[in-house]
Amino acid sequence: MITLNGKIYDGLLDAIRQLNLEVNYSTAKARVKRGWSPEEALGLTPRSLGQRTPVTVSGTEYPSVAEASRQLNLDPRIVRNRLGRKWSPEEALELGDRHSGKQATITVSGKVYRSIRAAYKVIKPEVSLSTVVARLATGEWTASQAFGLEYRATHSKTTRSIEVAGTTYSSIKKAHDTLESGIPLATVRNRLRSGWTPDEAFGLSSKEDKRSHGDGVTVSGVHYPSVDAAFLALKPPVARITIYKRLNRGMAPELAFTKHGGVEESEFYVGKRRYPSFEAAYEDLSPSVLRGTVAERLRSGDWTPEEAFEIVPRVKSRQVGKSITVAGVEYANAQEAYESIGCDFHITTVRYRLRHGWTPEQAFGLEPR
């Protein structure tokens, strides 16, 4: 609860609504976390930039956070952001370890430094500070090695043979160079690390095919042992990966192997005009949206042909959504709540969060996750 001009409000959001303020709730909330007063955060009073708040760090008092940052060669904006996230002054100014709260001293070649940054400024290694930190974080580098003062012996990588499509190759790279699959070597290695078989990693067999269509596929009454076999026999005017995606979404095989998922196979009306196919309608109307976008709209069943081709505006009122209660206020649907609350992120983010179990308040950014 907050008090503004003698009146009590349930919180920042309640004050924004009752006072009809234009400030975004997320912005106001972030301002309060950074030390602004509620009046300043809501824009009711100007932010007093002339006031300085002394800060004491490791027994030393500085007139302000900005002055402490300057003396320690840090960006004041970063320091203030850390303080707003409940870091201690020592942690924010990199004088202490963020996780333990203890003094983060480091010894390099027998000399003790108060922090990694302090050591970096004195030693001035050829690598970046982030590289030094990353090396130390692995636990496999000594401080002298991380700063480049000592040579670090690396273990030579042992190449191992790999069998692809019945042929054994001396290494993954050898197989990649020989097969010329068109798939980047890094992609092949990543797939193998993720558990793909060599044939799948090199694109010689489909991972989706084995996972979802192991019993083959029947298209127009003809059974094929696999999606790949059907693709090679039918030579459809569509990419193989598109067929896999359509089948995995539950589309009938007869439609999955057509150019636009079956939309172009049926004649239909756009307004009062009849077209023999989707292709003919698209070529005649020449809408500003992609052909595939129009096809997806028609397949969804939520768009009329006129709306799909953007001849008339979409009637959003036809989309029925579930009512939702956010912070004690009931809205007809998520879209209405989104527009009323005024989030600084897209509505699709809200819907994604709700689908994955976030509470309405968390999904709309009113409470931390």
pLDDT-wise least confident of 138-147, 198-207, 212-221, 278-287 = 212-221
Higher per-residue confidence, 224 vs 301:
224
Q: How far apart are CA 42 and CA 341, in angstroms?
A: 15
pLDDT at 357 over 50: yes
> HSE on the CB side for 344, CA within 13 Å?
10
Give the mean model confidence (pLDDT) for residues 165-182.
84
Give dist(CA 151, CA 145) in Å, integer. Answer: 6
280-339 tens-digit pLDDT: 787 788 777 787 777 777 766 567 778 888 888 876 544 445 788 887 778 778 877 777
Q: Residue 210: its pLDDT value, please? A: 41
Nearest to 83 by CA among 73, 70, 95, 93: 93
Q: Which two tokens stand for residue 126?
A: 């050829």
CB atoms within 10 A of CB 133: 13
198 residue type, one letter: P
Bridge partners of 113?
106
pTM above 0.75, yes or no: no
Given its phi and psi angles, is residue 274 left (phi above 0), alpha (psi -120 to 50 degrees) or beta? Answer: beta
pLDDT digits over 59-112, tens only?
778 888 888 888 877 877 777 777 766 677 777 776 655 554 444 578 888 888
For 177-188, the pLDDT digits (tens) are: 888 777 888 788
The residues, ordered by sequence, that sit 6+ positions from 362 with a Cβ below 8 Å of its Cβ are 353, 368, 369
Residue 349 reports pLDDT greater than 80: no
pLDDT single digits (tens) 242-279: 787 777 766 667 777 876 555 555 556 677 777 777 77
Hey, how many other C-beta atoms are within 10 angstroms of the C-beta on 57?
19
Residue 302: what pLDDT?
A: 62
Percent of the chain with pLDDT over 70: 78
